Amino acid sequence: MADCYKLTAVDDFTKYVETLSDETGYEDSRLQACKPVICQAIYGIGNPDISGIGVAIGYIIGIALGFTLAILLLLQTRLDPPLKSIPSQVLLTGLRSFFNAAAFFSIAVQIATISLLVQKDFGIATSDFGAIEAQIAQAVSVVSLLPLLYPALILSSIDSSRSNPRLFLLNLAAALSFYPFLSRNLHAFGPDDSRPIGDGSGSDVSTADWTKVERLCFADGLDALRDDTLYAAIPPLELAASLVVYLATLWQMGGLVGAHYSPSRTRSGTPS
């Protein structure tokens, strides 16, 4: 009889699969006896704070709001190039406020993601944070960065001050996202021999044995998910989005080369 209590948490994946093998031998009947414990420990319970429908709608509305403000401000610059009219000032202030809120939100997301992924990657603790939550957290870290790009680019062309706090916030968010970016790509594109699940020399558990665990927790054993084109496209899309963010950030930093800050200028960029 398997001791299910030993399978309640995945603090170290290598040790966990060793314990799983010792307790169940990957036999269907013994796996079935510990099904709730095993599935919750490995795949999590679904965290509504990062993957709930309300949060997903919030991401979409946030991206749409920033994009709408940016487009309206670009159109307004053609009608009112000095941006002195009330509609121009409302849109400019709105886009600035949106960027600041989105930047601090993204920085908070990056810090939280780093904290969770470090604990998971190094086997410190993974309580209620399974493989699916890890993938969602990595995706959210990228999604939270994207709304920063177009406001930063548009506002930098309007604001004459090069030493702008917006650039610092963009650079900070992008720098913090590097660990989730690295963790994501090591898991998605790493050598087969170094992957914990597989038939390579460095694998912790064979594909056949792990398929039994997947079929224990999911009716189709994740076959339908793996065959889904959108799911298969997520890793390269996340990689492409991250590279776009890094390139845009480097381009913004390149504009600082040779620039000098003049204290005699006000925030609007006009002489005081």
Say yes or no to pLDDT of 4 above 50: yes
The pLDDT of residue 259 is: 54
Tokens of 238: 């996340």
Backbone conformation region of residue 83, classed left if phi is above 0, alpha if psi is from -120 to 50, else beta: left
Q: Which of 16-30, 48-62, 67-81 has the highest mean pLDDT?
A: 16-30
For residue 60, pLDDT beyond 50: yes
Which residue from 99, 184, 106, 101 is spatially nearest to 145, judged by alpha carbons?
106
Q: According to the model, what pLDDT value does residue 272 have?
A: 39
Q: How far apart are CA 164 and CA 159, in angstroms?
A: 8
Q: Which residue has the higher pLDDT, 265 or 58?
A: 58
The tens digit of pLDDT for each residue in 86-123 reads 888 888 888 889 999 999 999 998 998 888 888 776 76
Helix 229-254, helix 131-143: angle, nearest 10: 40
Yes or no: say if 100 and 165 are a contact pair by the CB < 8 Å rule.
Answer: no
Mean pLDDT of the chain: 79
pLDDT reported for residue 8: 84
For every residue of 95-163, DSSP letters joined together read HHHHHHHHHHHHHHHHHHHHHHHHHHHTTS--TT--HHHHHHHHHHHHHTTGGGHHHHHHHHHH---SS
Please tell me the distance from the alpha carbon of residue 208 to that of residue 231, in angstroms, as a whole number: 22
Helix (H/G/I), strand (E/B), else coil: 27? coil
Q: Give the highest mean pLDDT range of 136-150, 176-190, 195-209, 256-270.
A: 136-150
Q: Which range scores top for mean pLDDT: 7-11, 56-60, 173-177?
A: 173-177
Any idea of the CA torsion for 57, 63, 65, 69, to the nearest 10 degrees? -170
Q: What is the mean pLDDT of residues 192-216?
A: 78
The confidence score (pLDDT) of residue 77 equals: 82
**Percent of the chain with pLDDT strictly greater than 70:** 79
- The least confident of 37-41, 45-49, 79-83, 227-231 is 45-49
Q: Print the SS3 string covering 201-249.
A: CCCCECHHHHHHHHHHHCCCCCHHHHHCHHHHHHHHHHHHHHHHHHHHH
Averaging pLDDT over each range in 2-16, 75-89, 173-187, 220-234, which range is the top one?
173-187
Confidence of residue 270 (pLDDT cuts 50, 70, 90): very low
Q: Above 70 in pLDDT, residue 166?
A: yes
pTM of this structure: 0.73
